[in-house]
Amino acid sequence: MTVNREIHLASRPQGWPTADNFRLVETEVPTPGPGQLVVRNQFMSVDPYMRGRMDDVRSYVPPFALDAPLDGGALGEVVAGEADGIAPGDTVLHGLGWREYALVDARSARRIDPDLAPVSAYLGVLGMTGLTAYAGLLDVAAMRPGETVFVSGAAGAVGSMVGQIAKLRGAGRVVGSAGSAAKVERLAGLGFDAAFDYHDGPVRDSLRAAAPDGIDVYFDNVGGDHLEAAIGAMRPHGRAAICGMIAQYNDTEPPAAPRNLALVIGKRLTLRGFLVGDHGHLRGQFVQEVAGWLREGRLSYDETVVDGIARAPEAFLGLLRGENLGKMLVRL
Amino acid sequence: MTVNREIHLASRPQGWPTADNFRLVETEVPTPGPGQLVVRNQFMSVDPYMRGRMDDVRSYVPPFALDAPLDGGALGEVVAGEADGIAPGDTVLHGLGWREYALVDARSARRIDPDLAPVSAYLGVLGMTGLTAYAGLLDVAAMRPGETVFVSGAAGAVGSMVGQIAKLRGAGRVVGSAGSAAKVERLAGLGFDAAFDYHDGPVRDSLRAAAPDGIDVYFDNVGGDHLEAAIGAMRPHGRAAICGMIAQYNDTEPPAAPRNLALVIGKRLTLRGFLVGDHGHLRGQFVQEVAGWLREGRLSYDETVVDGIARAPEAFLGLLRGENLGKMLVRL
């Protein structure tokens, strides 16, 4: 264990990123100082929001630096260092992925119980991904029982949770969009009432067929024409929780849609963007409720796992192309 | 008083309406049945939302019918009929404008006190216009003291109220946009901290100069590039109350803006459309507070008055072109 491998940002993508934007770099395994832990990462998360951090623009998180390791959600076993009640042998969740060994400030690590659920779940259904779905649906969009919910990117990590939580919380009808026939079939298995492949025709038409009486809540992971179709389908007082707009993250020109935004007036719609970080107060309630559904076998989750740090860029690029079912993870 | 004149919709406008879309028609003064009043209208309101009702599309109010009188807010003196405690000589507010004599269901008429304020105020500052400003700013956008507020169409009936109410309720900075140098000058007189003519350059640049530290609340009367500029200027957790999008009411192609909608995520913005009709529960509080400000001389309002039913179409067309300062009214 003398070599640590990590992924650096070699150059900033213009439009769609490619393998050339990344570089695998060998360094030494770090030595912990006071209050620090060395974590041998077992899983790291790749997430759509990371695309935005590759651009050199001011946003809610600073951009990734060039010629430095990327970062993001990860978990692994503490192999050196002891602080804040965390010791070697513990499994911890932290924010320094994209590397095999991470030097972590103990105050920013959270110990997890590997016996309660497979550890990877803490990066997905029981982690930031799950809380994003839970908070966006129930807090931001304030879904009420009986309502019709539409979620885009529904076979992804967040979307598949949104649809299932909606059903478990009493939604009248849940509709999902996804990018392949296989994903659409999977959505039926997850309990969605209707689902469509957005390649099969204009989203507006597919949504109208899937939700002929309109929708009350839209959970947006995609943006663009999905958002436009949702605004068009919304019933009065509808709410959209805007979580992501993956359709346009790689666009070099700003998107023209939605062109029907004026409908928000007559229909009294609310469009609300959110970041999961603002909803940490829901974590306790979220973990209790979701862990209960998992125990009872009422909630399923998919994972797409890619092996090895060298393939982390490939996992990320695959995520942007929608090659994942459920949570996209790299096993280190 | 044997002839009643009223304005009919002769044809549906394609794009900008013209005088040809209207027809002056002579009818007989109606006779009241049980529960009905005949009102000799003294003032009628022309409002931007009426443009939408001229199109044959489903919306929150039914479209105007062809070859039938238009309608909208109006007030006048009861000259015949007696019901629901209303009798000849009373002044009432109702929804049947665009005609000299209206046959009004007494249950949809509201008696007003002509001694408390000039009666025209009940169509503006003390009426639907004022409540729109009050509810949109304080309820929909939930403005808090110290915040920076931007309002477009700021010299109009609603916009000029929004800016003044914001100041009276403790806004830190209030910025308005308008369509002429004379209007911009008027906004300074109304207590706006900064104002600009949107013809003077890109709205984005003018807004940045007027609110260099960004805005917290945007009250939208205009849409299009105003909304895009506001989204760009918003600080985290900013809120937009979307009241109107007059810039695009006469467009035959859907607008491309705002192209920066993805910013709602990272900045956690809320965009909320509203109609004043949903906020009637605030009316008591609104009248009390606004009447108080009027009595104390702390709130001013402008009126642009056009005389005669025959000129009502001209008043409406002028409103769409922004020729009014404050509330546009027709005196009958």
Residue A78 pLDDT > 60: yes
Residue A311 pLDDT > 90: yes
Tell me the per-residue pLDDT of A271-290, one tens digit each, with 9 for 90 and over. 999 999 999 999 999 999 99
State the average pLDDT over residues A161-188.
Answer: 97
Q: Angle at the Cα of A291 (from A289 to A294), degrees rounded to 5? A: 110
**Please, which residues bridge with residue B105 across strands?**
B36
Give the strand order in the sheet containing A270-273. Answer: A194-197, A173-178, A148-151, A215-220, A234-242, A270-273, B270-273, B234-242, B215-220, B148-151, B173-178, B194-197
Tell me the per-residue pLDDT of A186-234, one tens digit each, with 9 for 90 and over. 999 999 999 999 999 999 999 999 999 999 999 999 999 999 999 999 9
Distance from CA of A43 to the nearest CA of B (A): 26
Interface touch B244/A265, C-beta < 8 Å: yes
State the average pLDDT over residues B202-230.
Answer: 97
CA B171 → CA A47, B149, B156, B162, distances in Å? 39, 7, 20, 11
Interface touch B264/A270, C-beta < 8 Å: no
Cβ of residue A57 closer than 8 Å to a chain B Cβ: no
Is the residue at A32 inside a domain? yes
Q: Do B7 and B137 fall into the same domain? A: no
Which is nearest to A7 in space by CA: A82, A78, A64? A64
> Could you tell me which chain A residue has the CA closest to the CA of B245?
A262
Interface touch A236/B261, C-beta < 8 Å: no
Distance from CA of B167 to the nearest CA of A (A): 25
Q: Label residue A116 by pLDDT band (50, 70, 90).
A: confident
Is the residue at A236 inside a domain? yes
> A223 and A244 in contact (C-beta within 8 Å)?
yes
Interface touch B262/A245, C-beta < 8 Å: yes
Tokens of residue A270, six digits: 């609310």
Q: Do A141 and A195 fall into the same domain? A: yes
Residue B108 pLDDT > 90: yes
- Map residue A108 onto helix, strand or coil: helix
What range does the domain containing A157 cover? 128-274
Interface touch B59/A266, C-beta < 8 Å: yes
Q: For residue B303, which phi and psi values (nearest 5 degrees)?
A: -135, 140
Residues of B in contact with A269 (CB under 8 A): 272-273
Cβ of residue B262 closer than 8 Å to a chain A Cβ: yes
Residues of A in contact with B268 (CB under 8 A): 272-275, 278
CA B65 → CA A100, A302, B12, B49, B56, distances in Å? 70, 55, 9, 15, 9
Is the residue at B282 inside a domain? no
> B81 and B32 in contact (C-beta within 8 Å)?
yes
pLDDT of residue B57: 84
Tell me the per-residue pLDDT of A13-60, one tens digit each, with 9 for 90 and over. 999 999 999 999 999 999 999 999 999 999 999 999 999 999 998 777
pLDDT of residue B1: 52
Q: Look at A22-26, A111-115, A215-219, B168-172 and tell me which has the smallest mean pLDDT.
A: A111-115
Q: Do A115 and A157 fall into the same domain? A: no
pLDDT of residue B33: 96
* B30/B275 Cα distance (integer angstroms): 32
Distance from CA of A277 to the nearest CA of B (A): 11
* B125/B131 Cα distance (integer angstroms): 8
Interface touch A274/B267, C-beta < 8 Å: no
Work out how many domains chain A is built from and give that number.
2
Q: Do A91 and A185 fall into the same domain? A: no
Is the residue at A237 inside a domain? yes
Residue B173 pLDDT > 70: yes
Cβ of residue B267 closer than 8 Å to a chain A Cβ: yes
Q: Angle at the Cα of A95 (from A20 to B270), degrees rounded to 5? A: 90
The CATH number assigned to the domain holding B267 equals 3.40.50.720
Compute the count of residue pairs across chains A and B with CB atoms less than 8 Å apart: 89
Tell me the per-residue pLDDT of B113-163, one tens digit each, with 9 for 90 and over. 888 889 999 999 999 999 999 999 999 999 999 999 999 999 999 999 999
Q: Do B202 and B94 fall into the same domain? A: no
Cβ of residue B230 closer than 8 Å to a chain A Cβ: no
Identity of residue A164? Q
Tokens of residue A71, six digits: 């970062």
Q: Do A152 and A254 fall into the same domain? A: yes
Q: Do B175 and B310 fall into the same domain? A: no
* B191/B175 Cα distance (integer angstroms): 10
Q: Do A154 and A267 fall into the same domain? A: yes
> Could you tell me which chain B residue has the CA closest to the CA of A260?
B254
Buried b (16+ CB within 10 A) or exposed e, A26-44: eeeebebeeebbbbbbbbb
The CATH number assigned to the domain holding A84 equals 3.90.180.10
Distance from CA of B41 to the nearest CA of A (A): 28
Residues of B in contact with A223 (CB under 8 A): 261-262
Q: Output Rg (C-alpha) for chain A, integer angstroms.
A: 20
Is the residue at A285 inside a domain? no
- Map residue A200 onto helix, strand or coil: helix
Residues 6+ apart with CB under 8 A from A265: B242, B243, B244, B245, B273, B274, B275
Q: Label residue A1 by pLDDT band (50, 70, 90).
A: low
Q: Do B259 and B327 fall into the same domain? A: no
Q: Do A119 and A138 fall into the same domain? A: no
CA dihedral B32, B37, B39, B45 (to 10 degrees): -120
Distance from CA of B4 to the nearest CA of A (A): 33
Is the residue at B172 inside a domain? yes
pLDDT of residue B298: 96
pLDDT of residue B87: 96
State the average pLDDT over residues A286-313.
Answer: 95
What mean pLDDT is reported for chain A? 95
DSSP line for A266-297: HTT-EEEE--GGGGGGGHHHHHHHHHHHHHTT
Residue B203 pLDDT > 80: yes
Residues of A in contact with B267 (CB under 8 A): 60, 273
Q: Do A110 and A137 fall into the same domain? A: no
CA B292 → CA A63, B117, B136, B164, B285, distances in Å? 51, 12, 20, 14, 11
Q: Do A38 and A133 fall into the same domain? A: no
Q: Residue A123 burial by CB count (10 A; 0-12/13-18/19+): exposed, middle or buried?
A: buried
Chain B residues 81-140 within an 8 A CB cutoff of chain A = none
Is the residue at A178 inside a domain? yes
Is the residue at A226 inside a domain? yes
Residue A294 pLDDT > 80: yes
Which of B49-56's residues contact partners 24+ apart within 8 Å by CB, and which partners?
A: B49/B244, B50/B316, B51/B13, B51/B17, B51/B246, B51/B249, B51/B250, B51/B320, B52/A266, B52/B249, B54/B9, B54/B12, B54/B13, B54/B17, B54/B21, B55/B12, B55/B13, B56/B12
Interface touch B258/A260, C-beta < 8 Å: no
